[in-house]
């Protein structure tokens, strides 16, 4: 059974003339790391809202088809039930961290859910270890860098031990080096078996990390497959998606490199060295 499943799902916001999503069929399995990308306004945010229950519980409109989490329709859940199953990390971490210390911030959700002290201690320690922020436990969030804030926000979500982690463009406020560090931390979550869905434009950071790439057009799924299958597609640019540098380089050097798309600049360089060496 898929962890998340869209069945012929369409949604139009109340008062809108057009559907934001049209006939979506999509499955996300347990343990998958899925990248969702596409041009601004293509429906990525609506897709996420449909998974976490904001649609239909907070956004009214025409709801056609079904979205299921663990086989149960999202509209049968209460929002707080979904919050325990699905962790959502906002684009701006300051929307999620507001306590006086990092440790208290990570513990906040657990305290609100009524967990006992020992269980809170165990979960907080584990989440901070996973995101590499244990050394920041007593720091005030406002003292942290943007990258550290984003890691703390993710740790707070992980402490609840959700089945699914959703991240909405978590690197958008980060410089390239800090963003790379965040992706390395997310790699560890993948190794732990966490199911991760990430909306992101910076494909160079993720091309060799994710299991699947889902490209959205204007309200529909334009492509869905492995990075090797999707990222070399010529029509990506027409959908407002820029292929990673390694793919653009491969296109120019394909006659020398042969079959097999490199998924990182390092892999591209190694392949080229092998040909020239």
From CA 172, how far away is CA 169, in angstroms rounded?
6
Per-residue pLDDT at 97 exceeds 80: yes
Tokens of 105: 């911030």
Q: What was the pLDDT predicted at 277?
A: 59
| 11, 44 Cβ separation under 8 angstroms | no
Q: What is the pTM of this model?
A: 0.90
Mean pLDDT of 79-100: 86
Number of Cβ within 10 Å of residue 16's Cβ equals: 11
Q: What is the 3-state secondary structure (H, E, C) of the chain?
A: CCCEEEEEEEEEECCCCCCCEEEEEEEECCCCEEEEEECCCCCHHHHHHHHHCHHHHCCCEEEEEEEEECCEEHHHCCHHHHHHHEEEECCCHHHCCCCCCHHHHHHHHHHHCCCCHHHHHHHHHHHHHHCCCHHHCCCCHHHCCHHHHHHHHHHHHHCCCCCEEEEECCCCCCCHHHHHHHHHHHHHHHHCCCEEEEECCCHHHCCCCCCEEEEECCCCEEEEECHHHHCCCHHHHHHCCCCCHHHHHHHHHHHHHCCCCCCCHHHHHHHHHHHHC
Which domains does the chain possess?
Answer: 91-163+174-194 (3.40.50.300), 244-277 (no CATH)
The length of the chain is 277
Contacts of residue 20, Cβ cutoff 8 Å, sequence gap at least 6: 11, 12, 13, 43, 46, 219
Among the residue ranges 25-39, 178-192, 195-209, the one predicted with the least confidence is: 178-192
Identify which has the larger pLDDT, 167 or 175.
167
Q: What was the pLDDT predicted at 7?
A: 97
Number of Cβ within 10 Å of residue 186's Cβ equals: 26
Mean pLDDT of 54-74: 95
pLDDT single digits (tens) 232-242 = 998 999 999 99
Q: What was the pLDDT predicted at 132?
A: 87
Q: What was the pLDDT predicted at 254?
A: 83
Q: What was the pLDDT predicted at 98?
A: 82
Q: What was the pLDDT predicted at 251?
A: 87
Per-residue pLDDT at 193 exceeds 90: no
Instruction: Using a pLDDT cut of 90, give the percent of the chain over it.
Output: 61
Residue 43 backbone class (left: φ over 0; alpha: ψ -120 to 50; beta: rest): left
Per-residue pLDDT at 54 exceeds 90: yes
Q: What is the mean pLDDT of the chain?
A: 91
Mean pLDDT of 81-101: 86
DSSP strand pairing (212-216 vs 221-225): antiparallel
Q: Identify the band that residue 81 occupies on the pLDDT scale cut at 50, 70 and 90.
A: confident
Q: Identify the band that residue 14 occupies on the pLDDT scale cut at 50, 70 and 90.
A: very high
From CA 33, how far away is CA 57, in angstroms rounded?
27
Q: What was the pLDDT predicted at 45?
A: 92
pLDDT single digits (tens) 1-11 = 799 999 999 99
Short-list 218, 182, 225, CA closest to 200:
182
């Amino acid at each position: 059974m898929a962890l998340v499943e869209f069945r012929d799902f369409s949604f139009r916001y109340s008062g809108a003339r057009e559907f934001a999503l049209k006939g979506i069929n999509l499955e996300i399995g347990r343990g998958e790391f899925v990248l969702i990308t596409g041009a601004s306004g293509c429906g990525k945010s609506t897709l996420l809202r449909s998974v976490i229950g904001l649609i239909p519980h907070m956004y009214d409109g025409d709801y056609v088809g079904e979205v299921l989490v663990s086989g149960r329709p999202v509209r049968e859940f209460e929002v707080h039930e979904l919050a325990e199953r699905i962790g959502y990390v906002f684009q701006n971490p300051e929307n999620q961290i507001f306590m006086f210390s990092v440790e208290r911030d990570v513990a906040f959700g657990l305290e609100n859910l009524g967990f006992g002290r020992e269980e809170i201690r165990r979960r907080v320690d584990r989440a901070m270890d996973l995101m590499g922020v244990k050394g920041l436990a007593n720091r005030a969030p406002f003292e942290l860098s943007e990258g550290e804030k984003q890691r703390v926000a993710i740790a707070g979500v992980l402490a609840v031990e959700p089945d699914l982690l959703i991240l909405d463009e978590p690197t958008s406020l980060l410089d390239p080096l800090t963003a790379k560090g965040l992706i390395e931390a997310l790699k560890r979550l993948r190794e732990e078996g966490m199911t991760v869905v990430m909306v992101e434009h910076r494909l160079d950071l993720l091309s060799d990390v994710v299991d699947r790439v889902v490209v959205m057009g204007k309200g529909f799924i334009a492509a869905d497959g492995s990075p090797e299958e999707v990222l070399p597609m010529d029509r990506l640019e027409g959908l407002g998606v820029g292929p990673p540098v390694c793919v653009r380089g491969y296109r120019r050097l394909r006659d020398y490199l042969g079959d097999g798309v490199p998924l990182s600049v390092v892999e591209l360089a190694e392949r080229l060295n092998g040909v020239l060496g």
